Chain A
Amino acid sequence: ETGVTQSPTHLIKTRGQQVTLRCSSQSGHNTVSWYQQALGQGPQFIFQYYREEENGRGNFPPRFSGLQFPNYSSELNVNALELDDSALYLCASSLGAGGPGSEQFFGPGTRLTVL
């Protein structure tokens, strides 16, 4: 069973640029969630994709967008990067659209630095 993988591991961008982060879900999982984890903070929910549709969104501006593909892998796109976007971006996969006690399986994250 393959776990959640993310690419790239590290990324450096400059303010105003655009970035795309990628995630492959765990085998058999059809749901992907994205989180932003600033240094010294807990993960903050960005959004979730279930069967290629957005299925919930946190308090993030529209310049944060995503996609889910038929193989359930996913992309997170961030436009017009700001310094405060520097963080660890975590992808989590799960089976189904949720439910009490549903567990999410996390990838190792992509460390984004915006200069």
Chain B
Amino acid sequence: GDSVTQMEGPVTLSEEACLTINCTYTATGYPSLFWYVQYPGEGLQLLLKATKADDKGSNKGFEATYRKETTSFHLEKGSVQVSDSAVYFCALTYTGNQFYFGTGTSLTVIP
């Protein structure tokens, strides 16, 4: 079946360090891929998305490229800030009604 696998957390980085959170997916077709972020005590917020192979989604300094050949959608940021501390979820959907989420990766950025 369709699923998303994220790297295990938690991840702790110093401010201005580089971030990569790995995400791979298993899909029977060609889904759209998303990264959502969840700050403490809040619901999920869309961070970025890509709808087809080789598309790059970007927002707030974060980027992810839809790689069909490696079935991956890794999240990257060149210089993290304390305010980036949150839980990050990779997700896929075909139709936009049912989303399949990974288990989430907790990121803590220390000053």
Contacts and interface: CB of A to CB of B under 8 A. Distances in A.
Interface in A7-63: 31, 33, 35, 40-45, 48, 50, 55-56, 58
Interface string B35-66: 01000011111100101100000000000000
A43 B96 contact: no
Interface string A87-103: 00010101011111111
Contacts of B97: 31, 33, 48, 50, 55-56, 97-98, 102
Interface stretch (A64-72, A73-81, A104-112): A104-112
Nearest to A91: B43
B103 A101 contact: no
Given A106-B45, A108-B41, A101 B101 contact: no
Contacts, number: 80
Given A41-B104, A42-B89, A104 B41 contact: no
B70 interface: no
Given A101-B49, A102-B93, A103-B49, A109 B43 contact: yes
Nearest to B49: A101
Interface of B: 4, 32, 34, 36, 41-46, 49, 51-52, 89, 91, 93-104
Interface of A: 4, 31, 33, 35, 40-45, 48, 50, 55-56, 58, 90, 92, 94, 96-109
Given A33-B97, A45-B98, 5 more contacts: A56-B95, A56-B97, A98-B96, A99-B95, A102-B97
Query: Which A-B residue pairs are the 9 nearest by beta carbons?
Result: A102-B96, A98-B96, A42-B101, A106-B43, A98-B97, A101-B51, A98-B95, A106-B44, A108-B43
